[in-house]
Amino acid sequence: MAGEAQPDCLFCKIAAGEIPATVVRETDTTLAFRDINPQAPTHVLVIPRVHYPNAAELAAGDPGAAADVLREAGEVAAREKVDGSGYRIVFNTGSGAGQTVFHAHAHVLGGRDLQRLV
Ligand code: AMP
Ligand code: ZN
């Protein structure tokens, strides 16, 4: 069923505590942890506890959880003190865009000069 944990999903396993992660914040519906291969001084992933393959499908299937992920991205930025200097929220969608883990997640990047993409 939509939103249910997937047995072979890395981020479902992290959400369940079966694989360790450096957790920076958690709520009933989300988990935020440091990216294992950081691309900026602050590089935190915010995931919903429910499983959807990407951000758009999350928003369609569970709009509340999608809003929670976005709110938590802002909370992480504040906690990491990058809200003043600016930060970027990225949702890679599809392998052509660099998505490698097909459980919706927001990258929160900050703490260095982030070149403008668009
Ligand atoms: P994406 O390429 O947008 O799907 O993002 C997946 C991210 O997950 C990458 O930036 C990886 O570095 C990160 N990642 C993969 N495995 C782990 C892990 N065990 N703990 C934390 N981050 C991870
Ligand atoms: Zn998952």
DSSP 2-41: TB---TT-HHHHHHTTSS---EEEE-SSEEEEE-SS-SSS
- The reply to whether 51 belongs to the active site is no
Closest ligand 1 atom number to CA of residue 92: 3
> Could you report the per-residue pLDDT of 42-62, keeping only the tens digit for each?
999 999 999 999 999 999 999
- Tell me which residues have their CB closer than 6 angstroms to ligand 1: 10, 21, 35-37, 45, 92, 98-101
> Could you report the per-residue pLDDT of 86-113, keeping only the tens digit for each?
999 999 999 999 999 999 999 999 999 9
Domains defined along the chain, listed by start: 10-110 (3.30.428.10)
Give the pLDDT confidence score for residue 1 in this predicted structure.
76
> Measured between alpha carbons, how far is 92 from 102 in angstroms, rounded to an integer?
10
Sheet strand arrangement including 106-110 = 23-26, 30-34, 42-48, 106-110, 87-90
pTM of the model: 0.98
Per-chain mean pLDDT for the chain:
97
**Which listed residue (43, 51, 103, 105) is catalytic?**
105
pLDDT of 70 strictly over 90: yes
